[in-house]
């Protein structure tokens, strides 16, 4: 049995053994990555520049976009480089860093989405107390908790994962380093730390799901009491995108992380990992904000200002 400190690195699995197809996959992922980054950075820019978007909802959206940018930037650029160079190796330090960052940003996003559901609950169910409850200080506190909790869980997972021993195959059955894939190639019998981390993470996820379900139960109960159809539609329009994004993120993450470590890997596992890492960051700016009237107005103002700048140049 070899200890993990004696291993110089791991080998990541791609989506094809053929070099040509591997290059095509890398280019396709690069295009998706650039599109996601541009959309999220555009949203962050609009929220920072437009005074009408200086509200708690858009403050949370800005931080969600920032988390999405960091989250997708962990696995995709490395996968692109590996696909172009046809070298799927990754060092121990690089693998540990991927596990830490993916866990940190993923956990932070779940908590932030929970805070956003609470924001919608306060706005619809108790609108008269909205400014007091969702003050700037409370919003900053919620965002700080999401980031700090993510860092805490990232530290727990990396400590538990890389305290294990690895022997036999060094091929990680995934296109990036994650805990379930590393558990598949571990031969350690000391899994108390990592399973404890899994248990804490599962409890946190369950609490977040319960909070979101309760929030939307009260939200829908309140919306259905609105006498006009127009009022109901406007209220639903601010809630359904959030619920859709959270459901997609949760469903794909559960498929990836709740499978038993002994399960045989397949192309389906890696495809679901793509959905988990790429789809939520791609959908957030599109279905959540870029179809919003306020964001469209902010985008038109930005275009007009840029046109004026280029005109004077």
DSSP-assigned beta bridge partners for residue 166: 186
What average pLDDT does this structure show over 136-155?
92
pLDDT for 70 = 94
3-state SS, residue 12: strand
Q: Six-digit token pair at 140?
A: 């900053």
The C-alpha atoms of residue 98 and residue 72 are separated, in whole angstroms, by 11
pLDDT for 263 = 47
Q: Six-digit token pair at 186?
A: 């571990």
pLDDT for 5 = 46
Degrees to nearest 5, angle at CA 300 with 297 and 301: 90
Residue 52 CB partners (closer than 8 Å, separation 6+): 294, 297, 298
Q: Six-digit token pair at 220?
A: 């829908």
More confident residue, 292 or 5: 292
What does the mean pLDDT of the chain come to? 81
What average pLDDT does this structure show over 94-119?
90
Degrees to nearest 5, angle at CA 136 with 121 and 220: 5
For residue 10, give the nearest of 87, 80, 132, 92 by alpha carbon.
Answer: 92
Degrees to nearest 5, angle at CA 165 with 13 and 12: 10
Calculate what percentage of the chain has a pLDDT beyond 70: 85
Measured CA to CA in angstroms, residue 112 lies from 17, 106, 240, 256 at distances of: 38, 10, 16, 21
**Does residue 89 carry a pLDDT above 50?**
yes
**How confident is the model over 122-135, as pLDDT tens digits?**
988 888 899 999 99
DSSP string, 89-125: EEEHHHHHHHHHHHHHHHHHHHHHHHHHHHHHHHHHH
Q: Which helix (H) or strand (E) holds 189?
A: none
Degrees to nearest 5, angle at CA 232 with 243 and 246: 5
What average pLDDT does this structure show over 22-40?
90
What average pLDDT does this structure show over 95-109?
91
**Does residue 179 carry a pLDDT above 70?**
yes
Extents of the domains making up the chain = 4-312
Confidence band of 3 (pLDDT split at 50, 70, 90): very low
What pTM value is reported for the model? 0.86
What average pLDDT does this structure show over 255-268?
59
Residue 272 CB partners (closer than 8 Å, separation 6+): 252, 255, 256
3-state SS, one letter per residue, for 48-68: HHCHHHCCHHHHHHHHHHHHH
φ and ψ at 45, to 5 degrees?
A: -65, -45
What average pLDDT does this structure show over 65-85?
91
What average pLDDT does this structure show over 249-262?
66
CATH assignment of 4-312, among 3.90.1150.200, 1.20.1070.10, 1.10.3720.10, 3.30.70.20: 1.20.1070.10
**Does residue 1 carry a pLDDT above 50?**
no
Q: Six-digit token pair at 122?
A: 């306060």
pLDDT for 33 = 93
**Does residue 69 carry a pLDDT above 80?**
yes
The C-alpha atoms of residue 126 and residue 32 are separated, in whole angstroms, by 40
The C-alpha atoms of residue 118 and residue 56 are separated, in whole angstroms, by 11
**Does residue 307 carry a pLDDT above 70?**
yes
Calculate what percentage of the chain has a pLDDT beyond 90: 21
More confident residue, 65 or 266: 65
What average pLDDT does this structure show over 51-62?
88
**Does residue 262 carry a pLDDT above 60?**
no
The C-alpha atoms of residue 175 and residue 199 are separated, in whole angstroms, by 25
**Does residue 43 carry a pLDDT above 60?**
yes
pLDDT for 37 = 93
**Does residue 166 carry a pLDDT above 80?**
no
């Amino acid at each position: 049995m070899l200890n993990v400190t004696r291993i110089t690195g791991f080998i990541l699995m791609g989506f094809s053994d053929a070099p040509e197809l591997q290059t095509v996959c890398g280019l396709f992922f690069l295009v998706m990555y650039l599109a996601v980054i541009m959309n999220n950075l555009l949203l962050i820019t609009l929220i920072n520049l437009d005074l009408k978007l200086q509200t708690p909802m858009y403050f949370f959206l800005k931080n969600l976009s920032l988390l999405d940018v960091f989250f997708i930037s962990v696995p995709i650029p490395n996968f692109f480089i590996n696909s172009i160079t046809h070298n799927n190796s990754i060092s121990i330090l690089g693998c540990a860093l991927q596990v830490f960052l993916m866990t940190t940003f993923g956990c932070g996003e779940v908590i932030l989405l929970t805070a956003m559901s609470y924001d919608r609950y306060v706005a619809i169910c108790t609108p008269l107390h909205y400014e007091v409850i969702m003050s700037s200080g409370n919003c900053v506190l919620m965002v700080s908790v999401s980031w700090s909790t993510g860092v805490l869980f990232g530290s727990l997972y990396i400590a538990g994962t890389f305290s294990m021993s690895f022997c036999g195959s060094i091929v990680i059955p995934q296109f990036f380093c994650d805990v379930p894939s590393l558990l598949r190639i571990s031969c350690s019998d000391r899994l108390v730390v990592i399973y404890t981390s899994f248990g804490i993470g599962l409890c946190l996820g369950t609490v977040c799901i319960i909070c979101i379900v309760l929030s939307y139960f009260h939200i829908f109960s309140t919306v259905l009491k609105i006498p006009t159809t127009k009022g109901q539609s406007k209220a639903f329009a601010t809630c359904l995108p959030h619920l859709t994004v959270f459901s997609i993120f949760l469903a794909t993450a559960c498929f990836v992380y709740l499978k038993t470590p002994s399960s045989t890997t397949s192309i389906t596992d890696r495809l679901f990992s793509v959905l988990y890492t790429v789809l939520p960051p791609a959908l957030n700016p599109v279905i959540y904000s870029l179809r919003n009237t306020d964001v469209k107005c902010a985008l038109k103002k930005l275009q007009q200002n840029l046109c004026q700048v280029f005109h004077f140049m």
